[in-house]
Amino acid sequence: MIPPDLLFSCVLGVLIGTISALLGVGGGFFYVPVLVILFGIDPRVAVGTSLAIITCTTLSASIGYGLQGRILLKSTLCLALPGMVCAALGALVTLLLPSQYLIAIFCVVLLFMGIKMVYRQFPLVFPLLYGPCWKEQCRISPEEGKDLHAYPVHLVTWGSIAGFMSGLTGIGGGIVNVPALTIAGIPIHSAVATSAAVIFITSLSGTGTHLLLGHLSLPFFIAFTIGAVLGAQVGVRLSPRAPPRLLELAVGSLLIMVVVILVINTYLL
């Protein structure tokens, strides 16, 4: 008989996977606190398990977005290649930090994410549109395309930051990738799709490093992944019709509440 905790994890995975695909983020902002607060998992193991789940869910979402022709290949590589290196570095840094410090960093990142979703003008990401650039075609519809300009300096810088944050905190990095792409003039639906592909690549690197360090709970990884892969496909199909602003406000408010709960659970109880 399957333990109730794992069945509950699978249901939560469907919900988180759907939201993650809709927003173009990895979902680690929910996986890590759920694993720590609800199931009592060590923060380092929670981070590694979160990244392993994200690797599978973003692969599922990326396949769906790729079939729709919405992923920008050159921008994906510019964000993902430096992000892979930095994700591995971030994972190694978790060895040097006590659990309480790791949770404190996670809470700060989570708070910034929540504020950014609620208040779009919050300067979490800013343009670095300097140096060389190239044209990349963005598909607006099956019949129509649009030429965009991609700046390697901008993409490499923010891809590196997102990757390091991913390996350190278990968050996919979409909260950096998506605004970095939209600031450069890429439409939101292509930015979300490209971000999903980037997160898959960087999470793969971070997961491999955490796996070598022993930071993985296999039962929770399997349970959450089964639900989240299904949820990611639901999110991909809902994405063209979803009201992104309403979703951002709801998730942003929820993230701020999660920070409060994490602080109380870790430092006050």
**Torsion sign (Cα): 61, 63, 64, 66:** positive
Of 111, 84, 88, nearest to 253 by C-alpha is: 111
**Average pLDDT of the residues in 203-207:** 92
Binned at pLDDT 50, 70 and 90, residue 138 comes out as low
Q: pLDDT (tens digit, 9 = 90+) per residue, 175-203?
A: 888 888 888 888 877 888 898 899 999 99
Binned at pLDDT 50, 70 and 90, residue 50 comes out as very high
What's residue 26's pLDDT?
Answer: 67
**Six-digit token pair at 44?**
């380092």
Which residues form the domain of 226?
A: 4-268
Q: Give the number of residues written for the chain.
A: 269
Chain CA centroid to CA 17, Å: 11
What's residue 1's pLDDT?
Answer: 66
Residue 111, pLDDT > 70, answer: yes
Residue 136, pLDDT > 80, answer: no
What's residue 258's pLDDT?
Answer: 86
What's residue 147's pLDDT?
Answer: 67
Q: What type of residue is 235? A: G
**Six-digit token pair at 159?**
């891809």
Report if pTM > 0.75: yes
Residue 98, judged by CB atoms within 10 A of its CB (0-12, 13-18, 19+), counts as exposed
Higher pLDDT, 172 or 101: 101
Instruction: Assess contact for 80 and 198: CB atoms under 8 A.
Output: yes
Q: pLDDT (tens digit, 9 = 90+) per residue, 147-174?
A: 677 788 999 999 999 999 999 998 888 8
Tally of domains within the chain: 1
